[in-house]
Amino acid sequence: MKRKYFVALLLLISAVIQAQVIPANAVILRKAGQDGVHTYRIPGITTTHKGTLIAVYDNRYKNSGDLPGNVDVGMSRSKDGGKTWEPMKVIMDMGEPHDDNGVGDPAILFDPATKKIFVVALWSKGNRSIAGSGPGLTPDETGQFVISESSDDGVTWSKPVSITPQVKDPAWKLFFQGPGNGMVMKDGKLVFAAQYWDAAHMPHATIIYSDDHGKSWKRGTGAKSNTTEAQVVETTPGTLMLSMRDNRGKFRSIATSKDMGQTWKEHATSYNTLPDPICMAGFMKANVNWKGKKKDVLFFSNPASSTARMNLTIKASTDLGETWPGAYQLLIDERASYGYSVMTKIDNKTIGLLYEGKGDLYFLRVPVKDISK
């Protein structure tokens, strides 16, 4: 066989194998190169009171690199539980010069009391992301923690506003969001996971919260040093559980707080239970049908490995994060990927999973029964 035909055959076989491992019912929400965007990354998703799914993500126009760069926040809506999606809209664009004025790493939540959707993101005016951000509060000094909102189910969005002066210590290098999803506590407080890089450039995962439905914001303290991208849930009323990306590698770190992040206690499952290859991970609490009964369940999604971003898996805990039984997990996608994922409840029997490929974003409707077995 001539070499060029042999190479073509190998490429065809590789493509077939690749196609076979993509979940059969997955929707390619965003395809690399679509709408002039080189890479789609950093997913967030929420469900509104109308059942509308709102997905947000980075539009990385020129390459796959993080901020600083030409990056906007894109948004997609679905009104049929994620089966089909409307055309993408850009909801955060900080204007010229685009190559030096990016905004990204979004997180999203829906407030059932006001019916508003909030999206937070990091604005880097010039080199004001992790490497280039410094002390201070202004856009010319430090990265900006910006927020946009929608009051019409995601159809239109407000211009991004910086809440940096409310939440950042001026001595810190940088303060910004999770990314991924925020959540709403039983008493109505809005909560986003966050991270700050202190004066010594050491990162700490934490939270921000609003007790007046987004009119003002407050911050917590650091839950653990050398942790960054986190997600937060409320286990029992008033108790927050923070799942943190730990730069030490191998496992997720977990901490709980009963005073809105003013103090934290490392959890028994911290850095020993949930393998993680130093990556962002999805984390949510949902009341679902679990083996025939309504139950509060914690769901966790990440590349289930201590060393590689592959084997994306959803795991479930039926005791509010005290244990994560091996029986309650579902392998979603074996392929190597960028690894980030987020979840939302679609209905009592279904959760929605939005996750990264390598430049693409995939959405999957996952039956709860497939996880509970």
Between the alpha carbon of residue 311 and those of residues 172, 342, 366, the distances in Å are 36, 15, 16
Q: Is the confidence at residue 275, as pLDDT, over 60? A: yes
Can you list the pairs that 86-93 forms with residues at least 24 positions away whose Cβ atoms lie under 8 Å? 88/30, 88/34, 88/35, 88/59, 90/59, 91/56, 91/119, 91/148, 91/150, 91/157, 92/119, 92/121, 92/146, 92/148, 92/157, 92/160
Per-residue pLDDT, 352 = 98
Residue 326: CB atoms within 10 Å: 7
Choose the catalytic residue: 96, 149, 229, 322.
Answer: 229
Q: Is the confidence at residue 7, as pLDDT, over 60? A: no
Per-residue pLDDT, 22 = 82
Per-residue pLDDT, 319 = 98
Mean pLDDT (whole number) for 156-185: 98
Six token digits for residue 138 = 């202004």
Per-residue pLDDT, 102 = 98
**φ, ψ at 219 (rounded to 5°):** -120, 160
Distance of CA 163 to the CA centre of its chain: 20
Residue 224 CA to residue 246 CA, distance in Å, equals 9
Q: What 3-state DSSP class applies to 60?
A: strand
Nearest to 25 by CA among 333, 326, 281: 333
Any idea what the Cα angle at residue 88 is, between residues 81 and 312, rounded to 5°? 60
Contact 277, 307 (CB under 8 A): yes
Is residue 229 part of the annotated active site? The answer reads yes
Q: Is the confidence at residue 8, as pLDDT, over 60? A: no
Contact 256, 236 (CB under 8 A): no
Report yes or no on whether pTM surpasses 0.75. Answer: yes
Residue 303 CA to residue 286 CA, distance in Å, equals 21
Confidence of residue 184 (pLDDT cuts 50, 70, 90): very high
Task: Convert the pLDDT of each residue in 126-165 to its tens digit.
Answer: 999 999 999 999 999 999 999 999 999 999 999 999 999 9
Residue 215 CA to residue 217 CA, distance in Å, equals 7
Per-residue pLDDT, 5 = 54
Per-residue pLDDT, 31 = 98
Q: Is the confidence at residue 15, as pLDDT, over 80? A: no
Task: Convert the pLDDT of each residue in 313-322 to its tens digit.
Answer: 999 999 999 9
Alpha carbon distance, N-terminus to C-terminus of the chain = 48
**Please, what are the domains in the chain?**
27-372 (2.120.10.10)
Return the higher-pLDDT residue of 1 and 312.
312
Can you list the pairs that 46-51 forms with residues at least 24 positions away whose Cβ atoms lie under 8 Å? 46/108, 46/109, 46/110, 46/117, 46/181, 46/344, 47/110, 47/344, 47/345, 47/346, 47/352, 48/110, 48/115, 48/117, 48/153, 48/154, 49/110, 49/112, 49/115, 50/79, 50/153, 51/79, 51/81, 51/346
Six token digits for residue 158 = 């407000």
Q: What 3-state DSSP class applies to 293?
A: strand
